[in-house]
Structure 1
Amino acid sequence: MASKTLSSFLLQNLTELREQGLYNTIDPLESPNGPVIRMKGREFVNLSSNNYLGLATDKRLVDAAVQATIRFGVGSGAVRTINGTLTLHVELEEKLAAFKGTEAAVAFQSGFNCNMAAISAVMGAGDAILSDELNHASIIDGCRLTKAKVIRYGHSDMADLRAKAKEARESGAFEKIMVITDGVFSMDGDIAKLPEIVDIAEAYDLITYVDDAHGSGVLGGGAGTVKHFGLSDRIDFQIGTLSKAVGVVGGYVAGTQEVVDWLKARSRPFLFSTSLPPGTVAACIAAIDIMQGSKELQERLWENAAYLQKGLKALGFSTGHTATPITPCLIGDEEKTQRFSARLYEEGIYAKAIVFPTVPKGTGRVRNMPTAEHTTEMLDRALAAYEKVGRELGMIR
């Protein structure tokens, strides 16, 4: 019999989440996660996927995964340090390092795992971490795993970062100080001020750490935010995911050979979790080859993003400070945000509401993720639905 205390806790808190418009309903797909998806027997224009370049359904990746699975099996069979390292893992890491412009790279089971692994492997008691207040949850959790002092600075507030870096360094209390930022902030689509961050880091001897999950494959010719600013040789840790623009699953850390050697020796997810399966690794290799060989997908992605953003602004919606394909439609109130998303769903547009705790209370938004695979017709259908629902709910005239 279940614990009465647990049952009471769950019932009360789930009820509160539903009443506050904060309960997230999960909708299983009956189709691949492409520009159009099928759920509950209906088709929807899909604006909620991180599949930026459409590679998740690309036949070249599918074929690579199938052939690798036939050759190596469905699983790698062990952790990397025993005998779970296949030649495929080595090939992927070499390609990632070349793609990111670093000496070396190491692959992990997820982007979330990267932040669990890398931060705690380097930072500890007697250290300090300067972290942007809007950093991803995986960074926050990665920092919590250390015994370092975490110092939050205002979002992209370089004056605040400089002041706190100066104070931390001049206090003499910390052996190592790291500054951590997302490259692209996933809820607003704005880009970190990496040139200024690097200047501050070099002035106060800070370790630099950039989580470029939403920048890789999108900015810098696909190589990411660090390459976009020409800073590949001035960033200590470049974190990326293999599950967004790359279209598969997994994550990686790119940096110097010494950084990668240390992570292979001391990062716990690398040491204690079975490595990525062969099919996944082969598909990732195919995706990197595609991104390095042509910029066509990136160009189509940016064209579609510009089209959607221009259309939403023309209707009277605010897309905030986005400088990337991430396109938030800012609403504010959590319940109204959920209602707006639900009405879009009824109109055949799948664009999920993003509310607290993913974003601060009162800043709810419907986040739209255009991809290279969307057609103008699909985006026009979305804009027509936005206009209809926006007028219905009194958000636009």
Structure 2
Amino acid sequence: MTDVNKIIIKVISLGLLAACLSIMLVSMALAKRDAAIYPSNLKIGDIAVANLNQDEAGAKIRAEMDRKWDSQLKIIIDKQNSVVSIPITELGITYDVDASLQKADEYLHTGSLLQHTLIRGESIDIAPVMKINNKVLFDQKLTDIMDKANKPAVDARVLYIKGYLEYVVHVDGYIVKRDESLAHIKRAIAQGYLGPIALKLQDVYPKVKTEDIKDIKSLIGVGTGSLNEFIVREPILGQTISRINGTIVMNEDDFSLKTALADHESKDLEQSCQQVALIISNTLANACRSANLHVVNTEPGEVEFINNTGNPLMLNIAVEGSNLLVRIYGLQTEKGKEMLLIKEQTIISPQIEVKIDKKLKPGDKIVEKGQEGQKISTFRVVRVNGQEIEKKLLTEEIHPPRNTVITVAPGTTIK
């Protein structure tokens, strides 16, 4: 190495040493300053505390915190990013100003001596410290919100409307993972963050999906039962039917009327419920037999069957006049076979009824025109390749005619 090179190295080394000493001296001076007052680039929760000592900074924060610091915890409760805001006072959360200042001090004085120089090149905002003072209240409030946020999955359905089948697609759902969500929210609060914070969700799927019901197209079973006037007027009848109507029974699953109506009966309506359950069970059992389903229980007020058709089924129950009608829809697996419900009307002509009124003058008469009645018969018809092989009368309703009444004077001859 030449003398010139040695001189160059010495000059560079001395320059670097001088620079390092300068940085160290500046850092020492800044460290001493930072111990007394906060640096000009420091904020705590967006409140500037530049050139203030700890007491002054605390006073300023307390004066401005209500305006600048969030007062609500924001929770994202669903997949559509809907937000629920809860005042932190309702959750037992408070800001700790002293702990926030301590956090700022720890940030400034953690690390090497050079920390005091390096932080001058950036804007520093220390998140405020929050405390959960009532953990029981906090957990209970958030648990209530999470329970309401649950979205159950909705099964695909088949609706019987005015003689046609309408298909309703399934909807996936989700449930809130409570423990994970609570822990996630608490971690965010510990970091000084009030949201929006997304709940932890777990997808849930329906038992009956849209693809499961695509083959429910044909009437494969039907049953009828008579209703008395009292039962028809009972609200419990409609309520009970709504619990069962549209039920999908998957292949190899069983259906129990008793299970379907569980928790539906009340003491006040116990007798009516029993009567309704008895009528429905008898009618449903008849429908199951006509569909060749495996009926395993036919106790009074109960019917239980197993879907042994190889395909999903749909139950439809309706009140038609004074009759209960149960239809079972599914996939007709016998080639060329179809089952139909056919209504036939027969007109019943009114009779002529003659009355005598002594107040009328000879030759006078009063005619009250009657009205035709009708007999409505419902048949279950089975056809194979278009040929009728069975026609069974299920119900018969008679609406009697109103006779024509002719009122005449005594001695008048009616022709």
Q: State the TM bucket, normalised to the shorter chain.
A: under 0.3
Q: Which has the higher helix share?
A: 1
Relative contact order, higher structure (CA 8 A, sep 6+): 1
TM-score, scaled relative to structure 2: 0.18
TM-score, scaled relative to structure 1: 0.18
Which protein is bigger by CA-based radius of gyration? Answer: 2
Q: Which has the higher strand share?
A: 2
